[in-house]
Structure 1
Amino acid sequence: MIKNRHNTIATILVLLFGCVLFFIATDGFRAFTAETARVNQLMEEKPVFPDVTLEDNKGRKYPISEFEDKYIFITFLYTSCATVCPQLEMNMAQVYDLLPRKYIGEDIVFLSISFDPTRDDPATLETYREAFNSDGETWRMARIPNQAELDSLLEKFGVIVIPDGLGNFTHNSAFYLVDKKGRLIDVMDYTEIEEAAAKVTSILENEAGV
């Protein structure tokens, strides 16, 4: 009987210890994966878009303040990607089409940023723009030529980019929403198209007092 009691106590201690480890590993039960934990942290920190110089599909160079007083709906990609990036951009196009026209260009712009600036020059970005029927104005394709500036942005926004040595990258993918002050306010699942469009529309309508 004493042995059974000891076994019971030991089992309880193992379970408690396991719960503590699970709590720590899942960021307080809020995250079951590293990606979810990363998004949770971003939502708490709400980092500001760093000072970088963008070069778009038309070869124009400007800071992020080009879009001052507008929300920015962002994706990160590289044009040589044959896996998730085409789907990411097709989904972005659907979000674009689902938003009320009156907000496009006036209150929100779309921006696809390449993390492969060496290969993704303006001409390549222009070809990519055409493939997804973006207008190059309210939805632009851009790169950040300065690698240090690019790295700073990727780090602040929790974008993981790992080169495989063969010209490809392993990377996470999401929709990122930056507010009118340049602060990241949401990271959305890129596969949840209607949900993302509804969330952005709600934000725009609330600000407009609709």
Structure 2
Amino acid sequence: MIKNKHNTISLVLVLVFGFVLFFIGTDGFSAYTAETARVKQLIDDKPKFPDVTLEDSNGRKYSISEFEDKYVFITFLYTSCTTVCPELEYNMKQVYDKVPNKFLGKDIVFLSISFDPERDDPATLNKYKDFFKSDGETWRMARVPNQEELDQLLKAFGVIVIPDEYGNFAHNSAFYLVDPKGSLVNVMDYKEINATAKTVVNLLENGTEE
């Protein structure tokens, strides 16, 4: 009887201790995976978009200040990708189509950034953008030609890019939203098209995400 009682108490203590560890380790149950925790940390930190030079599909070169006072809706991709990137850009197109025209180019621009600058030159990006009906203005596709600058940007935004021996990349994917001051303010699931569009439109119309 006493032994059973001790076993019960021990079990309860183990469960409570495990519960506390899980609560702490998942940041109050909000971060169940490494990716979720990474995204939460990015949103909390609000990193600045680094001072890098972008080169778009028209061969124009500029920094993020090109979009000063505008929101910038961003994806990271490489055009040779045959798996997640086409879906990522297709979903971006659907979000783009849900944003009222009055905001496009004036209050927000869409920007797809290649992390494969050697192959994704302006001519390649120009062909790729046509697949998704990007106009090259309110939705631009660009690369960061300087590898050091590109690495700095990927690191700042928590984009993981791992090359393989066949010229492909393993990478994470998301929608990234930069505010008019150049700070990352949201990272959204690229598969949640309607929820993302609602967040963006509410922000543009009301100044809030709700």
Q: TM-score range by the shorter chain?
A: over 0.9
Identity %, equivalent residues:
72
Q: How many residues align?
A: 208
* Residue number in structure 2 paired with 1:18: 18
Indicate the residue corresponding to 1:163 in structure 2: 163
The TM-score normalised by the length of structure 1 is 0.95
Letter in 1 for 2:96: Y
Is 1:179 aligned to 2:179, yes or no? yes
- Report the secondary structure of 2:9's partner residue: helix
Find the counterpart in structure 2 of residue 137 from structure 1: 137
Q: CA deviation at 1:207?
A: 4.1
Q: In the alignment, which residue of structure 2 is the partner of 1:100?
A: 100
Distance 2:55 2:204 in 1: 27
Partner Cα separation in structure 1 for residue 24 and residue 95 of structure 2:
36
Shift of 1:140: 0.6
2:38 — aligned with what? 38
AA aligned to 2:76 is F
Query: Cα RMSD over matched residues?
Result: 1.3
User: Which residue matches 1:111?
Assistant: 111
**Residue ranges of structure 2 left out of the alignment (5+ in a row):** none
Q: Which residue number in structure 2 is paired with residue 65 of structure 1?
A: 65
User: What's the TM-score, normalizing by structure 2?
Assistant: 0.95
Indicate whether 1:194 and 2:177 are aligned: no
* Alpha-carbon distance in structure 2 between the residues aligned to 1:79 and 1:16: 50
Counterpart of 1:100 in structure 2: which amino acid? P
Gaps of 5+ in 1: none
Query: 1:121 maps to what in 2?
Result: 121
Q: 2: distance between equivalents of 1:103 and 1:39? A: 27
In the TM superposition, structure 1's runs of 4+ consecutive aligned residues that sit over 2 Å from their partners are none
Q: What is the identity, as a one-letter code, of the residue corresponding to 2:52?
A: V
Q: 2: distance between equivalents of 1:82 and 1:14?
A: 47
CA distance in 1, matches of 2:49, 2:19: 37
Shift, 1:18, TM fit: 1.6
